[in-house]
């Protein structure tokens, strides 16, 4: 093995260990700082009552809000993002593709607070009038806003994933008599499956981790609605709750520990979904074309 190859291998190995160490350190920090809440409140942390003066710190309402907002946003963004990526990669003329991708990347780079302000002015007003509500700051509004925010990122990553599949596979599929739709479905998408899943996971992480924009449009009610399918009520996500209250808590207090525990649950949630996706959907053999 040449010196440059050894250096490259050492760099990759070192980066892997550093990344793993960072995850371990963050997890350890969250566990240590949330231990008081775990020890004193126990299973009461998984109730829906959040009342700091009474030392009640149930996080279930925030977990519910995070799950529902994530489901709404991804249910809208993933199908629309895939359809748009197929259009820009497979159907849009090459001379226009660069301009469209540049625009999408600009949209992906807009600060979340700007999306939040637009959501307050336009999206929440639309939801209020469309559903005849007293306030448009609802769980549905948060999900819709996150779908808009994550869509440019998903589209540009999926466009790259599809565009990177070598042209020879398309030509071979067409030579077998497949129509364009069948070429995309049976040749391009299976080969790009790994990168498509990776982009979806990045979108999931963006949705779960978004704070400011959601905090502005979702409301601030720590309550699970009577019907879990009712998304036209104000709610709270774990990130919006942390953004609202963490600065108001005293470090070392039970309230602070409960907030850190919420962050721990959020981290474990993201890690669990990532591991499940990589275990059941990730197939490195599908990247042999590279």
What is the reported pLDDT for 290?
A: 47
What mean pLDDT, rounded, does the chain reach?
86
What is the reported pLDDT for 2?
A: 72
What is the reported pLDDT for 10?
A: 82
Cα–Cα distances (Å) from 154 to 42, 62, 102, 278, in that order, read 39, 26, 14, 18
Q: How many other C-beta atoms are found inside a 10 Å radius of the C-beta of residue 70?
A: 21
Q: How far is Cα 38 from Cα 32, in angstroms, rounded to an integer? A: 10
**What is the tens place of the pLDDT at every residue in 226-277?**
888 889 999 999 999 998 888 888 888 999 999 999 999 999 888 887 787 7
57 forms beta bridges with 50
Segment among 40-54, 62-76, 92-106, 134-148 with least mean pLDDT:
92-106
pLDDT tops 90 at residue 80: yes
Looking at residues 173-177, what average pLDDT do you find? 82
Q: How far is Cα 142 from Cα 120, in angstroms, rounded to an integer? A: 10
Segment among 12-21, 93-102, 132-141, 263-272 with least mean pLDDT:
93-102
Q: pLDDT category, 140, cuts 50, 70, 90?
A: very high
Query: 2: which DSSP letter?
Result: -
For a pLDDT cut of 70, what percent of the chain falls above it?
96
* Cα four-point dihedral sign 242, 152, 111, 72: negative
Looking at residues 63-84, what average pLDDT do you find? 92
Using alpha carbons, select from 267, 215, 208, 270 the residue that is nearest to residue 240: 215
Indicate the number of domains in the chain: 1
Looking at residues 190-200, what average pLDDT do you find? 84
Q: Give the domain extent around 187.
A: 3-287
For a pLDDT cut of 90, what percent of the chain falls above it?
33
Does residue 56 contact residue 44 with C-beta atoms inside 8 Å? yes
Q: How many other C-beta atoms are found inside a 10 Å radius of the C-beta of residue 219?
A: 22
The whole-model pTM stands at: 0.86
CATH of the domain at 163: 1.10.3720.10
Q: How far is Cα 187 from Cα 251, in angstroms, rounded to an integer? A: 55
Burial of 92 (0-12, 13-18, 19+ CB in 10 A): middle
DSSP calls for 17-84: HHHHHHHHHHHHHHHHHHHHHHHHHGGGGGSS-EEGGGTEE--HHHHHHHHHHHHHHHHHHHHHHHHH
What is the reported pLDDT for 288?
A: 44
**What is the tens place of the pLDDT at every residue in 93-118?**
888 888 888 888 888 888 888 999 99
């Amino acid at each position: 093995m040449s010196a440059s190859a050894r250096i490259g291998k050492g760099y990759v190995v070192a980066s892997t260990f550093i990344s793993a160490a960072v995850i371990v350190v963050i997890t350890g920090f969250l566990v240590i700082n949330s231990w008081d809440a775990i020890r004193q409140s126990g299973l009461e942390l998984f109730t829906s009552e959040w009342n700091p003066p009474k030392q009640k710190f149930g996080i279930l309402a925030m977990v519910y809000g995070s799950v529902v907002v994530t489901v709404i946003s991804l249910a809208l963004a993933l199908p629309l993002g895939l359809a748009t990526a197929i259009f820009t990669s497979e159907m849009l003329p090459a001379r226009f593709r660069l301009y469209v991708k540049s625009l999408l990347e600009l949209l992906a780079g807009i600060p979340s607070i700007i999306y939040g302000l637009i959501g307050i002015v336009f999206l929440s007003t639309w939801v209020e009038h469309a559903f005849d509500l007293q306030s448009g700051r609802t769980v549905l509004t948060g999900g819709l806003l996150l779908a808009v925010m994550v869509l440019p990122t998903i589209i540009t990553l999926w466009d790259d994933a599809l565009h990177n599949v070598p042209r020879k596979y398309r030509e071979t599929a067409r030579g077998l008599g497949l129509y364009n739709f069948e070429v995309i479905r049976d040749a391009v998408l299976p080969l790009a499956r790994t990168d498509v899943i990776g982009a979806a996971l990045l979108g999931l992480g963006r949705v779960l981790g978004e704070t400011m924009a959601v905090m502005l449009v979702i409301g601030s009610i720590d309550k699970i609605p009577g019907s879990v399918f009712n998304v036209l009520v104000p709610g709270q996500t774990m990130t919006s709750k942390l953004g609202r209250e963490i600065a108001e808590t005293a470090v070392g207090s039970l309230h602070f520990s409960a907030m850190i525990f919420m962050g721990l649950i959020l981290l474990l949630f993201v890690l669990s979904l990532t591991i499940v996706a990589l275990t059941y959907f990730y197939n490195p053999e599908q990247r042999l074309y590279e």
